Structure 1
Amino acid sequence: MPREKGRKLVAQNRRARHDYHIDDTYEAGIVLTGTEVKSLRAGRASLVDGFAHVRNGEVWLENVHIPEYAHGTWTNHAARRPRKLLLHREEISRLIGKTQEAGRTLVPLSLYFSEGKAKVEIALARGKREYDKRHDIAERDAQRDIQRELRRRR
């Protein structure tokens, strides 16, 4: 069986970029069971309520919903179980220091397959206040109006 090439996106957390200021991103492997991998290959997952945290020197992904595999039997997995993330020791120690600062958290941005292996992109993020969100929306609208006006002038 030939090896997959490239990156196949399974799920994306668009809301994270709206609710948080993204400071730094990390690519992590994820420990999965067989039925979880089959469910992901079918393109089924949700990162909406997901978050990650460091516990006992390991990074864990919580609240990510990977639905049960349709053709699974008694070997099926729990949909929202905690899943271990695979990162280098230096990255974990850096995350321990940064997440202990006030207002910092780890949020998943996307879940994808990279060369056949399941990966998750997590971000070190700070929560946005309501006025920051309104400012971003106003800025995006202004840029859209500028682009529309430039296209109209051509």
Structure 2
Amino acid sequence: MAHPLHHAQSSARRFGGEPEDYQAIHDWFDATKEHMAFFTHRAVRHNTMGIFEAERLFGTAIINSAGRTVPVRFIGEQHVKEDCRGRIPSLADWLSRIQPAPWMANGHIDNHPNPIIGDPAAAWRDAVAKQETNMGLADWLAMKSMEQEAA
């Protein structure tokens, strides 16, 4: 399916109520599209673990607008099956297909963090570009300050 709305409409047909009753759950499953607008975004939540995570987040069940109690697990399984050709893969099914890259394997503890040299904003932009941080500038500067105080 192309859009969480289509999943919500499918849920309403299947379990009763209105699409709005289910929209938040389907939006959550597809939120990983924000980071990768390709079908592989599904590896994060379109699996057995994602279904149980949805249940922890949204509760065991919702009560739809028709007054029917619908288990969140039913909704999650419906979503995953609609996107994965009728099957519910495990997280291992997705992860086993990842092509390992060197940065994934070798941990690194940096006991000597680099001090900021020159323009702090430029140093932060460089760290973001190198994928060394995903913090905003203010948080990154606060962290650097703490590192310097602890050194």
Greater relative contact order (CA < 8 Å, ≥ 6 in sequence): 1
* Alignment TM-score, normalising by the size of structure 1: 0.29
Please say which structure displays the higher CA radius of gyration.
2
* Alignment TM-score, normalising by the size of structure 2: 0.29
